[in-house]
A and B are shown apart, each in its own frame.
Chain A
Amino acid sequence: MACPRLLPLAVFAMLLASALPAGAQQYIGVAGQVDIHGGQPGQTYHGSLSVQNQYSSPLTFKVTMNGTVGGWTVSDPPGPFTVPAKSAQKVLLAITPPDGTGPGRKAGGITFTTVESQGTLTASGATIRQSVTVILRVEMGGEARPDIVWLNASAEDAVVGEPLLAYVGARNDGNVRTVAKVHATATPLAGGDVAAQADGQVDIEPGQAGVARIDLGSKLPVGQYLVKVESTDPPGFNAALDAKVRAVGSSAADGRLLSILGNPRVPTGDPTTLVGWFQNTGKVPIGSARLFAQVLQGETVVAQLSSDAMAVPAHSSVNLTVIWTPGAAGLYTLVGHVEYEGYRTPDVEGRIEAIGQGTIPWPVIVGAAFILAALLAYLWVRRKK
């Protein structure tokens, strides 16, 4: 059975009369404005406003502050205060920008709201309160000192059709609100033209950190991309990131080649082991990971190397090894990457020096010379005695 109270909400169109005839206009107002130039941290600035009650009865006003400058402001009287009919009340303001406030425009507001609701209702509706807000403006003086410190960069894997996003963190060590700007490109990791590029920026208050978000779009096909991030304002920061666009419903493996290590100095003709330290950073096991490395002398590739494939459990790491025998003395550069589950890591570089067989290493020569010099000095001293 339906509850008798489940009735339509009965509302009667009725506006109760108060002391005022319907449609009568009565006004509140605030005369004056606050616009401070050349503000200095720690200093107190004074202003005044005049709150007017043009009603034919007294009104009580409450005072609320908002915004940055509102937080620096103290009013006298603090409110609530009552203003007689057809009168005005002077309100003094003391505004103190706190220490550490940098130059630039700051704003806030002070609102005077009537406490008395106008009218009494017996029909559904709302009694009315009125308010007037005055904007408080402070132009802080001093020398602007922008100082953005770039912190880090990252890129998120994306599902095809969704945006590929990169992020760059920064901190504002200056004294002014500053916009930090970055640019990013996405290139297929296997090589090719830039597939997407975009700008990002973040607006950071002094002493705060923020993250610039770069949306490289949602049109990239499934694949792996090298995301290069470069700061444009202020310049000086760049990073190369690895990001994947994967098919819907798939959970992509993810790994990083942390380094290529080996004996930094090896004799020519002797085999040496080079170790690729690979970490599975994803949530799924990697069935097969293989290190591919090139040994270069200058621009010339002198060796192409590849390791055996190894399985890598989730959140684990393995050493992928290759063996190389230097044929001639000299400095070599190692450039390697790991291929896994159809993906590859960005390249990692290392260095190795090969020394000739029978060649006395220079530390041995230096040591021997030192011993010989000491011996000669000893003999000379003995002879003088």
Chain B
Amino acid sequence: MRGIYTVVALLLLPLAAVPLAAGQVTLTGGVANVAPVVGVASFGTSSYDPTANGNTAVAASVAVVDTNGCSDVNGGSATVMASIVLATDSTQVLAGPTQMTAGSCTTGTSQAFTISLNMPYYAAATNYKVKVIATDRAAGANTLVSAATFAYTTLTAMGSSTPNGFSFGSAVAPGSSSPTGQSIAIYNGGNTQVDATLLGTELTLASPAATIPVDAIKYSINSDMSSSGTMSGSSATLSTFNLAAGNAASKALYLQLVVPTPTTVGAYLPAGTYTGTVTVGVVAG
């Protein structure tokens, strides 16, 4: 049987070497490139809370379809970039653009991508979309602004420059005041404008027992203590504080101790270290 096959192959070889006759075409090119199409994008959840003074990870996923195959948008010079944009204005970018991570390939042409984008805490509380730009190895590109949105909620948050406590500074004699210009910096760690709130307690000396009333503490938004207010045990709102949201936005709140002079005969204010508590807060305003 082996001898018969060899004879047939020898007879066919001359036919393969015969020149093309007139009217016949030679195929010398390849398949044309088609730009990738970005499919429907989705988010991990429909609402995200900002993180006080931090970033919030927003998860997004999308399928990119390339008829030239998944490998045309995954690897090499191909990129799939995602950014978070305002739902009402896709030119306003809040996070990204960042390269998305390729996932699985299905049907040979649909490539999944995912990403976790960091939304800053000071981004406004409103609706956002994801914008995806897919570029294949042949530089064919398409852009999608998602129909889906996610809500970024309102965050009212604060930080303080003096989380360890506040000292009124140098020695203060009865009837005199602590130096001006001593402040607590209040940081807006959220995404809404805030006013400051304040309340305090009397300052007490443990031994011998003595107190300085809470109204001896003055507060102001001015370093020279102009237009100052008097601290009390009830919360007061500084409606002119108006600390807008923003990256590392802060304002100073100045405190001063005006030590009273004992008015009753025989009364005195013993020397010592008087301590109390001041509650500093924020409220949207």
- Please give the residue numbers on chain A whose beta carbons come within 8 Å of chain B beta carbons, in ascending order: 3, 5-18, 20, 22-33, 50, 52, 54, 66, 88, 109, 111, 113, 117-135
Contact of B281 among A17, A113, A118 (CB under 8 A): A113
11 A-B pairs with CB atoms under 8 Å apart are A5-B268, A9-B271, A11-B274, A16-B164, A16-B165, A28-B157, A29-B158, A119-B164, A121-B273, A125-B165, A126-B275
**Contact (A127, B275) CB under 8 Å given A8-B173, A12-B171, A54-B51:** yes
CA distance A26 to B53 in the complex (A): 8
Judge whether A9 and B259 touch: CB under 8 Å. Answer: yes
Judge whether B272 and A10 touch: CB under 8 Å. Answer: yes
Judge whether B157 and A29 touch: CB under 8 Å. Answer: yes
Nearest A residue to B169 via CB reads A13
Interface bits B191-214 vs A (CB < 8 Å: 1, else 0): 000000100110100001000000
Judge whether A125 and B279 touch: CB under 8 Å. Answer: no
Contact of B184 among A18, A128, A131, A134 (CB under 8 A): A128
Chain B stretch 176-201: residues in CB contact (< 8 A) with chain A? 178, 184, 187, 189-190, 197, 200-201
**Main secondary structure on A side of the interface with B:** loop
Nearest A residue to B217 via CB reads A126
The verdict on B163 contacting chain A, using a C-beta distance below 8 Å, is yes
**Contact (A32, B154) CB under 8 Å given A16-B164, A125-B166, A131-B197:** yes
Judge whether A25 and B159 touch: CB under 8 Å. Answer: yes
Judge whether A33 and B163 touch: CB under 8 Å. Answer: no
Residue with the highest number of chain B CB atoms closer than 10 Å, among A10, A20, A117, A126? A126
Judge whether B165 and A121 touch: CB under 8 Å. Answer: yes
**Contact (A129, B161) CB under 8 Å given A29-B52, A29-B190:** no
Judge whether A120 and B165 touch: CB under 8 Å. Answer: yes
**Contact (A11, B172) CB under 8 Å given A27-B158, A31-B50, A117-B277:** yes
Nearest B residue to A109 via CB reads B283
Contact of B203 among A14, A22, A126 (CB under 8 A): A126
Residues of chain B lying within 8 A (CB to CB) of residue A31: 49-50, 153-156
**Main secondary structure on B side of the interface with A:** loop
Residues of chain A lying within 8 A (CB to CB) of residue B155: 29-31, 52
Interface residues of B, CB < 8 Å — how many? 60
Chain B min CB distance to A211 (Å):
27
The verdict on B160 contacting chain A, using a C-beta distance below 8 Å, is yes
CA distance A13 to B272 in the complex (A): 12
**Contact (A124, B167) CB under 8 Å given A25-B161, A132-B158, A133-B156:** yes
CA distance A182 to B279 in the complex (A): 44
Judge whether A11 and B157 touch: CB under 8 Å. Answer: no
CB-CB nearest 5 A-B residue pairs: A29-B157, A131-B281, A119-B165, A29-B52, A8-B173
Contact of B49 among A32, A66, A113 (CB under 8 A): A32
CA distance A60 to B275 in the complex (A): 21
CA distance A359 to B137 in the complex (A): 126
Residues of chain B lying within 8 A (CB to CB) of residue A126: 165-166, 200-201, 203, 217, 255, 275-278
Chain B stretch 228-279: residues in CB contact (< 8 A) with chain A? 235, 255, 257, 259, 268-279
Residues of chain A lying within 8 A (CB to CB) of residue B278: 126-129
Judge whether B49 and A88 touch: CB under 8 Å. Answer: yes
Judge whether B280 and A129 touch: CB under 8 Å. Answer: yes
Contact of A8 among B167, B190, B271 (CB under 8 A): B271
Residues of chain B lying within 8 A (CB to CB) of residue A123: 167-168, 273
Judge whether B164 and A22 touch: CB under 8 Å. Answer: yes
Nearest B residue to A12 via CB reads B171
Chain A min CB distance to B52 (Å):
3
Given contacts A54-B159, A128-B164, A133-B235, 9 further A-B contacts (CB under 8 A): A5-B268, A11-B273, A13-B169, A15-B164, A22-B164, A25-B160, A26-B159, A52-B49, A128-B160
CA distance A125 to B182 in the complex (A): 11
Nearest B residue to A129 via CB reads B279
Residues of chain B lying within 8 A (CB to CB) of residue A25: 53, 159-161, 163, 187
CA distance A27 to B157 in the complex (A): 7
